[in-house]
Amino acid sequence: MKRTHIPLCFDRKWLMPLVLISTLSLILLLTLTLGHDKSSSKTGSSSYNSKSKASDSNLGGGSDRLGPPKLPRFAYLLSGTKGDGPRLRRLLQAVYHPRNYYLLHLDLEASDIERLELAKYVKSEAVLREFKNVMVVGKANLVTYKGPTMIASTLHAIAILLKKANGWDWFINLSASDYPLMPQDDLLHIFSYLPRDLNFLEHTNNIGWKEFQRARPIIIDPALYHSKKSGVFWAKEKRFMPASFKLFVDAFLCLI
């Protein structure tokens, strides 16, 4: 039996449009796929960069995430009493750095001549004149050791530094008898990796033995109303512990 062959007829006029449509469809599909991948990559990269910048800002870092962080600034209070002028100058030379701010205070027991000599020294040094970051307290405070006038003098110095010096990160209180254990460059480098809101004050309401030696005794500081320095007076009476609020004690640590 003879098999009948059906000829396959293909009209050549439809060949070119079909190839053209297939090619355009393939190009459109590839374009959409690559565009979606790029947008996903940009979104992930921007999210990562924003998180990295937030982390760097908490650590005080600069704009370059891979580079070294931004150096901090310290605000120093260097205080002394009668005869401490030379030691204050020595301490200033040891802890000086152009990035920092310094406030020098000789208490009221020192003479006006000593304060004047200290101010002349600050103006005579070329480096100090250039950076203008050292100040001398002209109106001195009378300070009694272990008395409230010590705290008042420190708070007064902080207020001056907040008003006269901008952009410092940590406050350091030193006396003329102190001397640094490391150079300022090392100190600035170490603190550049610390968060700017980190402080070295610890406080607790568990005062323990300090209740009887610090909280209950009544102390009178003559420097609050006298112009001559003398020791504090301890009254025989003891005060009662407050009932409407709690007392906290603190201890500060300074690495220098």
Dump pLDDT digits (tens) for 64-107. 456 789 999 999 999 999 999 999 999 999 999 999 999 999 99
d(CA 133, CA 138): 16
3-state secondary structure of 52: helix
Q: Where are the domains of the chain?
A: 74-196, 204-252
d(CA 144, CA 153): 10
Tokens at residue 151, please? 């705290």
Is 252 exposed, middle or buried (CB count within 10 Å of its CB: 0-12, 13-18, 19+)?
exposed
Q: What pLDDT, on a 0 to 100 scale, did the predictor assign at position 99?
A: 96
Percent of the chain with pLDDT over 90: 46
d(CA 45, CA 38): 10
H helix count then E strand count, the chain: 7, 8
pLDDT digits (tens, 9 = 90+) for 168-182: 999 999 999 999 999
> Does the pLDDT value for residue 14 go beyond 80?
no
Tokens at residue 189, please? 């480098």
Average pLDDT over residues 145-155: 89
- Tally the C-alpha atoms within 13 A of residue 186's C-alpha that lie toward its C-beta: 6
Structural contact between residues 73 and 192, judged by C-beta atoms closer than 8 angstroms: no
| Average pLDDT score, the chain | 81
3-state secondary structure of 58: helix
Q: What pLDDT, on a 0 to 100 scale, did the predictor assign at position 160?
A: 96
> Does the pLDDT value for residue 166 go beyond 90?
no
Average pLDDT over residues 122-142: 95
| Distant-in-sequence, close-in-space partners of 41: CB < 8 Å, separation ≥ 6 | none
- The string of DSSP codes covering 196-238 is TT---EEEES--TTHIIIIISEEEE-GGGT-SS----EEEEEE
Structural contact between residues 80 and 145, judged by C-beta atoms closer than 8 angstroms: no
Structural contact between residues 114 and 82, judged by C-beta atoms closer than 8 angstroms: yes
Report the 10 Å Cβ neighbour count for 112: 11
pLDDT-derived band at 127 (thresholds 50, 70, 90) equals very high
Average pLDDT over residues 226-233: 80
Average pLDDT over residues 19-47: 61
pLDDT-derived band at 15 (thresholds 50, 70, 90) equals low
Q: What pLDDT, on a 0 to 100 scale, did the predictor assign at position 231?
A: 82
pLDDT-derived band at 251 (thresholds 50, 70, 90) equals low
Q: What pLDDT, on a 0 to 100 scale, did the predictor assign at position 145?
A: 81
Structural contact between residues 229 and 144, judged by C-beta atoms closer than 8 angstroms: yes
